[in-house]
Amino acid sequence: MTFVISQGCCRDASCVAVCPVQCIRPRPGDPEFETAEQLYIDPAVCIDCGACVEECPVDAIHPDHDLPAELSGYLDVNAAHFASGADYDRIPVRHVRPRLPEAAEELRVAVIGTGPAACYAATELATNRGTHVTVLDRQPAPFGLVRSGVAPDHPRTKLIADRFASVLSRSNVDCYFNVHVGTDVTVAELLEHHHAVIVATGAQDDRRLGIEGEDLPGSHGAKDFVAWYNGHPDHSGDVVDLSGERAVVIGTGNVALDVARILMRDPETLARTDIAEPALQALRDSNIREVVIVGRRGPESIACSAGELEELAKLPGVELTVTCPPEDLEHLDPGDRRFRVLTEAAREPSGGKRIDLRFRSVPEALNGTDRVESITLAGQGELAASLVVRAIGFSSQPLAGLPFNADKGILPNERGRVLEPETGEPVAGVYCTGWVKRGPTGVIGSNKVCAEESVAGLLEDFVSGRLVKPLHTREEFAALMAGRVPGAVGFDGWRRIDETERERGAESGRPRLKIVTKQEMLTVASGR
């Protein structure tokens, strides 16, 4: 028997460290680790110990004899990764966290954000003796895109929030949710109360197309659209018109495929997930029967993962088709699972609901008087559509008081140390991790290695005496926040929100029924 890593792998490599025979690849440090779609287990070397199963935070590892039917193909996927038979190094690679000297004063660090990058950074710090971490987030509910970005029909991926919660609930971690850094408290004030600040605010904005009609009603950025169906409180009042028969999604990455899949999936299937109730009702009333996914380049440049594309192809009651010149498909690598899906899908539609992958199509304009009625594609004319979602990437926002590289959409940094653009010197005590550090690339687990690098630099600077001792105590910071933000939510407040959502969901057979307004969240968090 062997174990198998399946779709949903978060790639944080927790499983690698516990494997006694080192049969999981790629590992952090391997050339292909940063770009790998997932990790794989070598069936010829696996000794069936099950250590990786216990360590996986998203339940993506299964024994081969107990693979769910929809994941049965992953036995071959794992084996194929090792098909060359090439030998590989089996010396265990373990992550050793830098440790503070026993005589060192308590290190206090503020982490801005609670998404994966922030939580991995908090983990690196809080599990180090002699540290105290303050975590701040603008929303009353933590976990960033794990809560508001992961598709509701991918529940296993959301399980990583349980691991993050175990860190945020530690005695040496203070949580301040519903606090807007830059408005309620400044970075300079955080530095007066902490040795260092780690910025992990992610990428909050959708990139724009820059074409006429982009701001018409019916045109949405993917981040906003995904936040709407995931119950983000900033989008609780959004109205998404699904009365037309065709939607267009611009982009071919995983987010674009998530949007298409949610639009086409049976609402009664979604009714068993944590999808926001207003979105579920809108999808139940939806008239959309076709989603066209538009890619500027050819199929060889499709940006999604194989697992996402295969899931789209298996969507019940929905046909997947491909529109592109036939010669575009002739020279694709047959060893790439994505291209096999595209080749099989390249046929004439047979009627009914469908998703069409349309390549070599460049949007030129969105058309309509009071709302979107069609999209103009270069050389193809107008395509009728009442909903257009652009999923062409994200960009970060500047944070008041810190330098920002607007061209790259990141904080200027070297290995996580934020730099002054004019001098190239580090900004004392300020670090970054995640998308605001490297740009919006990678999956959840990519942030683990990223955070480890940033925290390692911070600890090195602390031990070397390059960080300034805080002017004020933890108690003084708590008093400052109590005066500035009486509605700040601590971890106990989040626990009340979490328990309430789970209890409400259980009544209708759902994992949770999300509270979608900030005011109700704050009421529940307060215990009133």
Q: 423 Cβ partners below 8 Å, 6+ apart?
A: none
Q: Mark whether 118 and 261 lie in a shared domain.
A: no
Q: Mark whether 386 and 405 lie in a shared domain.
A: no
Ligand-binding site membership of 510 (annotated): no
Ligand-binding site membership of 442 (annotated): yes
pLDDT digits (tens, 9 = 90+) for 40-79: 999 999 999 999 999 999 999 999 999 988 898 999 999 9
pTM of the entire predicted model: 0.94
Q: How far apart are CA 202 and CA 111, in angstroms?
A: 12
Q: Mark whether 260 and 339 lie in a shared domain.
A: yes
Ligand-binding site membership of 482 (annotated): no
Report yes or no on 503 lying in a domain.
Answer: no
Report yes or no on 513 lying in a domain.
Answer: no
pLDDT digits (tens, 9 = 90+) for 425-438: 999 999 999 999 99
Q: Mark whether 121 and 225 lie in a shared domain.
A: no
Report yes or no on 518 lying in a domain.
Answer: no
Ligand-binding site membership of 296 (annotated): yes
Decide the pairing of beta strands 131-137 and 205-206: unpaired
Q: End of a domain among 391, 412, 440?
A: 391
Question: Each residue of 363-382: b (16+ CB within 10 Å) or e?
Answer: bbbbbbeeebbbbbbeeeee
Please report the pLDDT score of residue 88 as a whole number. 72
Domain containing 287 — which CATH number? 3.50.50.60
Domain containing 25 — which CATH number? 3.30.70.20
Please report the pLDDT score of residue 85 as a whole number. 72
Report yes or no on 307 lying in a domain.
Answer: yes
Report yes or no on 102 lying in a domain.
Answer: no
Q: Mark whether 276 and 374 lie in a shared domain.
A: yes
Q: Mark whether 199 and 213 lie in a shared domain.
A: no
Please report the pLDDT score of residue 335 as a whole number. 83
Q: How far apart are CA 305 and CA 255, in angstroms?
A: 10
Q: Mark whether 125 and 237 lie in a shared domain.
A: no
Please report the pLDDT score of residue 349 as a whole number. 64
Report yes or no on 401 lying in a domain.
Answer: yes
Q: End of a domain among 391, 421, 437?
A: 391
Q: Mark whether 252 and 367 lie in a shared domain.
A: yes
Q: What are the start-end ranges of the E strands in 40-86?
A: 40-41, 61-63
Contact 53, 1 (CB under 8 A): no
Q: Which residue range(s) make up the domain with 159?
A: 107-204+396-489
Please name every residue paired with 292 in a beta bridge, in sequence order, or none if there are none.
248, 356
Q: Mark whether 233 and 288 lie in a shared domain.
A: yes
Q: Mark whether 214 and 186 lie in a shared domain.
A: no
Q: How far apart are CA 476 and CA 478, in angstroms?
A: 5
Q: How many domains is the chain partitioned into structurally?
A: 3
Report yes or no on 198 lying in a domain.
Answer: yes
Please report the pLDDT score of residue 348 as a whole number. 62
Report yes or no on 528 lying in a domain.
Answer: no
Ligand-binding site membership of 160 (annotated): no
Tens place of pLDDT per residue across the chain (528 aa):
899 999 899 999 999 989 999 999 999 988 888 889 999 999 999 999 999 999 999 999 999 999 988 898 999 999 999 987 766 776 766 666 677 877 678 999 999 999 999 999 999 999 999 999 999 999 999 999 999 999 999 999 999 999 999 999 999 999 999 999 999 999 999 999 999 999 999 998 999 999 999 999 999 999 999 999 999 999 999 999 999 999 999 999 999 999 999 999 999 999 999 999 999 999 999 999 999 999 999 999 999 999 999 999 999 999 999 999 989 988 888 888 999 899 888 666 666 899 999 999 999 999 999 999 999 999 999 999 999 999 999 999 999 999 999 999 999 999 999 999 999 999 999 999 999 999 999 899 999 999 999 999 999 999 999 999 999 999 999 999 999 999 999 999 999 999 999 999 999 999 999 999 999 999 999 987
Ligand-binding site membership of 435 (annotated): yes
Q: Mark whether 126 and 77 lie in a shared domain.
A: no
Tokens for 127?
């599990």
Please report the pLDDT score of residue 326 as a whole number. 87
Q: Mark whether 387 and 295 lie in a shared domain.
A: yes
Domain containing 402 — which CATH number? 3.40.50.720
